[in-house]
Amino acid sequence: MNAAIVCVGRLKEKYFSAAAEEYLKRLARYGRFELVELPDLPEPANASDADRRQVTEKEGESIQSRLKANDYVVAMCIDGPQVSSEDFARKIADNDRRGTRLVFVIGGSLGLSPAVVRRADEKLSLSKMTFPHQLARVLLLEQIYRGCKINAGERYHK
């Protein structure tokens, strides 16, 4: 597997950091995996729609600067389709056969810029529920790890 998560913001809470580090350690046996954390731009107080658009556009430019032309990009969006862990594992396996880097993109607190969503090859949602971005990152790492275990024919908790 050759994959990455490109995300806006850092994990500040120790428990989220510890969980993410544990999954990154576990993923190492399945291939090359990279976690790219980009600066989370502050939202101005009493921000207008234009201010919020400017923040997401700047964050989007930062995200796009980390993407390669042949990356297969999955935008993590609340309006994206939801899939089972088994279907998610198939997506990972399909990408391995393509031989491209699989990149999951998580935006900042204001979401992803329209330009990043247009660049994405597909959108995906973890749930209809809303999660803090830090928890969403840990959940995504866990599902990538689970997908790798499924694809390797290893036992996993159902």
Across residues 114-130, what is the average pLDDT?
95
Instruction: Examine the pLDDT at 157 and tell me if it is beyond 80.
Output: no
Do residues 74 and 102 touch, judged by C-beta distance below 8 A?
A: yes
pLDDT (tens digit, 9 = 90+) per residue, 72-85? 999 999 999 999 99
- The percent helix, strand, coil of the chain (3-state, each to 5) is 45, 20, 35
Predicted confidence band at 116 (pLDDT cuts at 50, 70, 90)? very high
Across residues 138-157, what is the average pLDDT?
94
| Spatial separation of the C-alpha atoms in residues 82 and 59, rounded to whole Å | 25
Query: To 10 degrees, the CA torsion angle through 26, 101, 68, 23?
Result: -10
| Dihedrals phi, psi of 91, to nearest 5 degrees | -60, -40
In DSSP notation, 128-140 reads: SS---HHHHHHHH
Helices (H), 28-132: 49-64, 85-98, 114-119
**What is the reported pLDDT for 158?**
61
158 vs 38, residue with greater confidence: 38
| Spatial separation of the C-alpha atoms in residues 128 and 124, rounded to whole Å | 11
Predicted confidence band at 119 (pLDDT cuts at 50, 70, 90)? very high
Predicted confidence band at 156 (pLDDT cuts at 50, 70, 90)? confident
**What is the reported pLDDT for 144?**
97
Across residues 126-145, what is the average pLDDT?
93
Predicted confidence band at 130 (pLDDT cuts at 50, 70, 90)? confident
**What is the reported pLDDT for 99?**
93
pTM: 0.94
Q: Is 148 exposed, middle or buried (0-12, 13-18, 19+ CB in 10 A)?
A: buried
Residues 6+ apart with CB under 8 A from 83: 91, 124
Strand partners, 7: 37, 106
- CB atoms inside a 10 Å sphere around CB 86: 12
Strand partners, 4: 34, 103
pLDDT (tens digit, 9 = 90+) per residue, 24-66? 999 999 999 999 999 998 888 888 999 999 999 999 999 999 9
**What is the reported pLDDT for 133?**
85
Query: What domains lie within the chain, and their CATH numbers?
Result: 2-151 (3.40.1280.10)
